[in-house]
Amino acid sequence: MKPPIFDFVSPGSLQEALSLLAAGNGEAKLVAGGQSLVPMLNFRLLNPSMLIDVSRLAELRDITEQADFLSIGAATRHHELEMSSVIAKHFPVLSAAMRHVAHLAIRNKGTIGGSLCHGDPAAELPMIIQLLDARLIVQGPDSERTIKAGDFYLGALTPDIAENEILVEVRLPYLASQTGWGFEEFARKSGDFALAGAAALIKADNGRISDARISLMGGDEIPLRATEAEEMLVGKALEPALAEQVCDSVQDLVTPNSDLHASADYRRHLIGTMTGRALDAAWRHATGDIDA
């Protein structure tokens, strides 16, 4: 339970971090909060030649309101997201989700960029960026790429990011005003990885849904958007029969695993239930039944 031998560098700038990463020839790893990486090192699941600590790079730590989107630096810590009044104003669904991310001692160190690049399919942030149609800004040695959240995950724990690239910024496009939201997850114990979870956004006009988004975690190797289910909602009010159809559709979409924590059938059942509750909350927010 002790990590393998590696060298450790704390670069003073993003440019220096990129140079070190390039010089590492795929053997160097970035560390930010280390809340997933260090357990993997302690278990000796990884054997990097060097750790490059990006957690102190001030250029990766800002939350700023741009004209069309909220910009979040990749090394922003979970607890900073949890407490940010700017995030609470624009994306209350994100604030709510952060309270489910592990425990305070983990949230004090873990970062949004670290969680997204680790890419656990049962983690909150990879799912929330699907819901919010985030854009991820990835810096390479010579150029920058913008990746849509929906294209970011190639498989479990596998983001579309090259060995010489660094995720530097997460951009969240603002939502239409009075978009209702819901976030629900089920975990055996508070702070544990959820067995299943769902988040929903609903925009309603005159008692009809004009726009809906549903994202799911724990349902597949990667977090999902339930686009078919979203389309079923448009133009309608969220009546119980419709909610049931939507949950059925979500349950057909997912292919959860069986393991010692829960069977695939139980996880599928939970995803339906979580989707139903998230939709109900989003609908009530959107129609003014509960305060946004």
Partner 1 sequence: MPDAKRIKLSVNGTTYEELVEPRLLLSDFLRDTLGLTGTHVGCEHGVCGACTILLDGDSVRSCLTFAVQADGRSVETVEGLGTIEELGPLQEKFRKHHALQCGFCTSGMLMTGVDILRKYPLATDDEIREALSGNICRCTGYEHIVRAIREARDERTGEMT
How far is residue 265's CA from residue 245's CA, in Å, rounded to a whole number? 18
In the region spanning residues 47 to 66, those forming contacts with partner 1, defined by CB under 8 A, are 50-51, 53, 55
Residues 115-144 that bind partner 1 (CB under 8 A): none
Comparing CB distances to partner 1, the nearer of 83 and 162 is: 83
Return the residue of 4, 141, 155, 288 that touches partner 1, per CB under 8 A: 4
Q: Which of residues 181-240 bind partner 1 (CB under 8 A)?
A: 189-191
Cβ neighbours of residue 53 closer than 8 Å, sequence gap 6 or more:
8, 9, 10, 11, 30, 31, 32
**Nearer residue to partner 1 within complex by CB, 3 or 150:** 3
Greatest distance between any 2 Cα atoms in the chain = 62
Shortest spacing between CB 140 and partner 1, in angstroms: 26
Pick from 25, 42, 47, 255 the residue near partner 1 by CB under 8 A. Answer: 42
Q: Does 162 bind partner 1 (CB under 8 A)?
A: no
3-state secondary structure 10-75: CCCCHHHHHHHHHHCCCCEEEECCCCCHHHHHHCCCCCCCEEEECCCCHHHCCEEECCCEEEEECC
Within a 10 A sphere around the Cβ of 236, how many other Cβ atoms? 13
- Candidates 108, 178, 210, 245; binder of partner 1 (CB under 8 A) is 108
Residues that bind partner 1 (CB under 8 A): 1-8, 10, 34-35, 38-39, 41-43, 50-51, 53, 55, 79, 102-106, 108-109, 189-191
